């Protein structure tokens, strides 16, 4: 994944270029979730890649921790209008997951599935070519449970509701199937640069 770090003072033009329309910058890291934080123990943690109902590969925590790791630094954008610059994440890229499973993407869409019965749909193209990871670390530390630890999806170029916390698997689907927030009026793709907030946004 590309690192686009800025150092020192932010030139105004560069700052403006980094902030998608309708967003404001914050140094906070707000916690947002539809319900209470599920506590997922590492001994029972599993991550399953599946093609519809058919499992393609499953990793336990030790196996997952042995996969190649990627560090990504950049900006994240929540549909509630906060953006945070220069966040640092570490985990396993979706490209490396597919390579470890020895599979090519069987369909063009996925659902990310979580331990709190949350799910969210993402086009496969948005997860490939270094654009997304299953993140286990934030700022060099194991990811806090509030922010999705032990592991969450990170799709930083889409609104942050696509970055499913407490992820337990990725399921390829034949169609683009709406997830939790998409069924409740949020956009099927959620590109912050196009302000794809609600389902009828273009
Ligand atoms: N499993 C799960 N993932 C989730 C959510 C959730 O409720 N459950 N909320 C989403 C929403 S709406 C946002 S804005 C981000 C918030 O992530 P944060 O709490 O780390 O800031 O998580 C997303 N991922
Ligand atoms: Mo959100």
Q: What confidence score (pLDDT) does residue 192 get?
A: 98
CA dist., res. 88 & res. 5, Å (int): 10
| C-alpha distance from residue 114 to each of 13, 38, 46, 168, 201 (Å) | 38, 10, 11, 5, 26
Q: Which atom of ligand 1 is nearest to the CA of 165?
A: 3
Query: For 170-192, how does the pLDDT look when each residue is reduced to its tens digit (9 = 90+)?
Result: 999 999 999 999 999 999 999 99
Q: Which residue has the tokens 């329309």?
A: 21
Residues of the chain above pLDDT 70, percent: 95
pTM across the whole model: 0.94
Distance from the alpha carbon of residue 163 to the mean position of ligand 1, in angstroms: 7
- What is the rounded distance in angstroms from the CA atom of residue 156 to the CA atom of residue 71? 13
CA dist., res. 177 & res. 138, Å (int): 29
Looking at 3.40.50.450, 3.30.450.20, 3.40.50.2000, 3.90.420.10, the CATH number of the domain 23-28+44-194 comes to 3.90.420.10
165 lines ligand 1 (CB under 6 A): yes
Ligand 1 atom index nearest CA of 148: 20
pLDDT digit string, tens, across residues 84-138: 999 999 999 999 999 999 999 999 999 999 999 999 999 999 999 999 999 999 9
Domain residue limits, the chain: 23-28+44-194
- Residues 18-44 have a mean pLDDT of 95
- Token pair recorded at residue 58: 């499953």
């Amino acid at each position: 994944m590309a690192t686009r770090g800025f150092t020192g003072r932010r030139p105004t033009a560069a700052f403006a270029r980094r902030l998608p329309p309708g967003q404001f910058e914050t140094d906070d890291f707000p916690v947002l979730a539809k319900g209470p934080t599920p506590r997922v123990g590492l001994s029972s943690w599993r991550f399953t890649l599946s093609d519809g109902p058919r499992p393609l590969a499953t990793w336990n925590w030790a196996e997952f921790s042995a996969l190649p790791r990627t560090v990504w630094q950049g900006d994240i954008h929540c549909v509630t209008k906060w953006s945070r610059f220069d966040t640092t994440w570490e985990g396993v890229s979706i490209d490396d997951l597919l390579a470890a499973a020895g599979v090519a993407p069987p369909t063009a869409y996925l659902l990310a599935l979580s331990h709190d019965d949350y799910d969210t749909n993402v086009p496969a193209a948005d997860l490939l070519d270094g654009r997304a990871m299953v993140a286990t670390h934030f700022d060099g530390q194991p990811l806090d449970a509030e922010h999705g630890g032990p592991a969450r999806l990170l799709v930083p170029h889409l609104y942050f509701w696509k970055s499913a916390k407490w992820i337990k698997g990725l399921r390829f689907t034949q169609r683009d199937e709406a997830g939790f927030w998409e069924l409740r009026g949020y956009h099927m793709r959620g590109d912050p640069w196009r302000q794809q907030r609600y389902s009828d946004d273009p």
